[in-house]
C-alpha cells in the first residue's frame, strides 16, 4: 500500500495494486485523472494538473492522483470511463467517483477542491488568510487588543462556546493566544507569529503545516486588530 509516484512529480501514480488503498481511504479527498499516455488532451492537461498537486501537497486530507487507464483497465471499467482524460472526485463521504466538470485550469481545480474538501489553498500552495480565522470572534479580538483584560478574554470564551464543531479547535487557539498575551505581554504575539513562520520555511508538511499556517493567520488577525484599535506595541 505504498503510494507510487515519480520523484519529480507531486501527482500520485495509481495502479491496480494501490488504487483502493489510496482512492477509497475514508480520510482522504482524492481527485483522480483517468488518462492514456498517447492522449493529446491528457498531455496538455499535465502541466496544470501537476501544479494542482503541488498546491495541495501540504494538505494532508487531499490527494491528487492519476491512473493509466490504457495500461490498467479494471478501475477505468468500474467507474465507467469512456474517454480521456476523465477526472473524478472521491470525497471522504462520497467514494462513488463524482465527475469533475469544471475548468481544466489551475484556478478552477483549486476552487473546486477548496469547496469540496473545505480547504483554503491558493494556486501557489499557500493558505488563504481566512484559514484558521473565526469571524464570530473578530469583535472579541478587537476588544481584547484594545483593553488587554481578562474581561475581554472571558467575552471571547463565551463566544467560543457557541462555535460549531468545525471551528472548536480554532476557537481554543484564540483563547490560548489571549492567555499567553496576558501572561507575557502583547509582544508575545508577533514573536510567536515569527517563530511559526520560521518553522514553515523548514521541512514541515502535511496536516502539521496546515495547522501552523492556520495559527499564523490567527496571530496576524490579532495584529491587524491592534492596528485597527490604533494600538501599536509591536515592532515591524
> Which residues are known to be catalytic?
39-42
Sheet strand arrangement including 86-90: 12-14, 62-68, 29-35, 86-90, 98-99
d(CA 104, CA 107): 9
d(CA 142, CA 138): 6
HEC letters along 178-198:
HHHHHHHCCCHHHHHHHHHHH
Residue with cell 466538470: 101
Q: How many CB atoms lie within 10 A of CB 2?
A: 8
Nearest CA to 86 out of 67, 105, 71 is that of 67
Give the three cell numbers for residue 228.
485597527
Tell me how far apart the terminal alpha carbons of the chain are, to the nearest angstrom. Answer: 48
Amino acid at each position: 500500500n505504498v503510494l507510487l509516484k515519480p520523484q519529480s512529480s507531486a501527482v500520485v501514480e495509481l495502479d491496480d495494486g494501490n488504487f483502493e488503498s489510496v482512492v477509497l481511504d475514508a480520510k482522504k479527498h482524492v481527485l483522480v485523472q483517468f488518462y492514456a499516455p498517447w492522449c493529446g488532451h491528457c498531455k496538455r492537461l499535465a502541466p496544470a494538473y501537476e501544479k494542482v498537486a503541488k498546491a495541495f501537497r501540504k494538505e494532508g486530507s487531499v490527494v491528487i492522483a492519476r491512473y493509466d487507464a490504457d495500461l490498467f483497465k479494471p478501475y477505468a471499467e468500474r467507474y465507467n470511463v469512456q474517454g480521456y482524460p476523465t477526472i473524478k472526485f472521491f470525497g471522504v463521504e462520497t467514494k462513488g467517483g463524482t465527475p469533475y466538470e469544471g475548468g481544466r485550469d489551475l484556478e478552477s481545480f483549486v476552487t473546486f477542491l477548496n469547496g469540496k474538501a473545505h480547504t483554503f489553498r491558493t494556486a501557489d500552495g499557500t493558505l488563504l488568510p481566512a484559514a484558521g480565522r473565526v469571524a464570530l470572534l473578530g469583535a472579541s479580538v478587537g476588544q481584547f487588543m484594545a483593553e488587554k483584560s481578562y474581561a475581554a478574554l472571558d467575552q471571547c470564551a463565551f463566544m467560543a462556546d457557541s462555535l460549531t464543531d468545525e471551528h472548536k479547535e480554532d476557537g481554543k487557539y484564540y483563547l490560548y493566544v489571549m492567555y499567553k498575551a496576558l501572561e507575557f505581554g502583547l509582544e508575545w504575539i508577533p514573536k510567536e507569529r515569527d517563530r511559526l513562520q520560521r518553522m514553515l520555511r523548514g521541512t514541515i508538511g502535511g496536516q502539521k503545516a496546515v495547522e501552523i499556517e492556520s495559527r499564523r493567520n490567527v496571530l496576524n488577525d490579532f495584529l491587524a486588530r491592534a492596528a485597527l484599535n490604533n494600538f501599536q506595541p509591536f515592532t515591524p
